[in-house]
Amino acid sequence: MSSVKPIQDYAQLSDAEAEARIVAAKEKLGERLVILGHHYQREEVFRHADFSGDSLKLSREAANSKAEYIVFCGVHFMAEVADILSRDDQIAILPDMGAGCSMADMANLANVERAWRELSEVLDPDESITPVTYINSAADLKAFCGRHGGIVCTSTNARHVLQWSFGQREKVLFFPDQHLGRNTGYNMGIPLEQMVVWDFDQPLGGLTPEQIKNAKMILWKGFCSVHQMFKPEHIDAFKAKYPEAKIISHPESPFEVCQKSDYVGSTEYIINTIRDAEPGTRWLVATELNLVNRLAEQFRGEDKMVHFMSPTVCMCSTMFRIDPQHLAWVLENLVEGHVVNRIKVAPEEAAQAKLALERMLQVSP
Ligand code: 13P
Ligand code: SF4
């Protein structure tokens, strides 16, 4: 039997060589393989995806896939979800293990468990708080939510998930993204004063017991380093030049940006909204650069002008780690019967995380 091919053998391949080898390996693997690609993937990788989507759509694809191998062109938490929701005999693979999510890293189990303990000095969290984790989080945090009657959300279903959560208990602890939590809570009618920020570096999150008792939502002090670059001033400057332009933003963007936007939603929502718009329309978009560039290219022919919101480059550098060379590497190894870069969540953790994910899938539109 052949030995595992090392990644070093692929580092010098040109994109064109890697591309040809990806196509050949895909052909050989046939229906045993499915490649899932998030919208933020670079074009050279994205074109090989059998299915593309936002986090919710791709988690559904993973749950319904029959393929033996699920190669996830996205980031680590997405491949973990694919492993958790797929059958035990299916194998989830992330082409580059360095493809994480800096926002997901802003909450960890030790911090969240400490927050839960500290909150119990003020109230009984298992009685009065539903923990909600954004899908951009490690599997052990999803398992925490599973154990504590909580749930997972994505940018598509955050509102439905919060409605469910408030039906269970009076308050929500929302992690790791404060912006998705605040933007969604505010649109549901929760005043800003009732959404407090939990600073995980400070005792009791930097809050007083009174602030905690009065809060509806306790928002983790996390954010996406890509989306926090978008500013309301960018919108003002653009509108001064193009008053008729439409503004569309991902809900990981700051509150002030979402407030000034005409539309706010997930990557899939952003794509569909621009696709369905009238020809001749102009769009300013607050989300990751690879997606915005693809939209600009795709809709130029329909006379829709798509612009990126920030004057500086805001690329998700971890999404970018998935390159054609890594994809060729994992696929050619699979052809030879070798699994490299498998993502496998420990069984007990996976079972608890699955509870929270399944609750999410049930309440999702
Ligand atoms: P979507 O689920 O909207 O695709 O968002 C995922 C993400 O990581 C955005 O930064
Ligand atoms: Fe994470 Fe932000 Fe990258 Fe999305 S864009 S994967 S939230 S770092």
| Atom of ligand 1 at shortest range from CA of 154 | 2
Average pLDDT across the chain, whole number: 97
Burial bucket for residue 238 (CB in 10 Å: 0-12, 13-18, 19+) = middle
* Per-residue pLDDT reduced to its tens digit, 96-154: 999 999 999 999 999 999 999 999 999 999 999 999 999 999 999 999 999 999 999 99
Instruction: Look at residue 161 and tell me whether its pLDDT is greater than 90.
Output: yes
Q: How far is the CA of 155 from the centre of ligand 1 (A)?
A: 7
- Model's pTM, two decimal places? 0.97
Q: How far is the CA of 120 from the centre of ligand 1 (A)?
A: 32
Which pLDDT band holds residue 200 (cuts at 50, 70, 90)?
very high
Strands (E), the chain: 33-38, 51-53, 69-73, 91-93, 129-134, 151-153, 171-175, 195-198, 217-220, 246-249, 263-264, 282-286, 305-308, 342-343
Q: Which helix (H) or strand (E) holds 140?
A: helix 139-147
Asked if residues 129 and 168 have their Cβ atoms less than 8 Å apart, the reply is no
Instruction: Look at residue 73 and tell me whether its pLDDT is greater than 80.
Output: yes
Return the residue whose CA atom lies nearest to atom 2 of ligand 2: 224
- Bridge partner residues of 286 (DSSP): 249
Q: How far is the CA of 73 from the centre of ligand 2 (A)?
A: 13
Return the residue whose CA atom lies nearest to atom 1 of ligand 2: 101
Q: Give the residues surrounding ligand 2 with Cβ less than 6 Å away.
A: 75, 101-103, 136, 224-226, 252, 288, 316, 318-319
- Provide the sign of the torsion angle of the four alpha carbons 265, 194, 356, 68, taken in this order: positive
Return the residue whose CA atom lies nearest to atom 5 of ligand 2: 316
Q: Are strands 342-343 and 91-93 parallel, antiparallel or unpaired?
A: antiparallel
Q: Give the residues surrounding ligand 1 with Cβ less than 6 Å away.
A: 39, 54-55, 136, 154-155, 224, 250, 252, 266-267
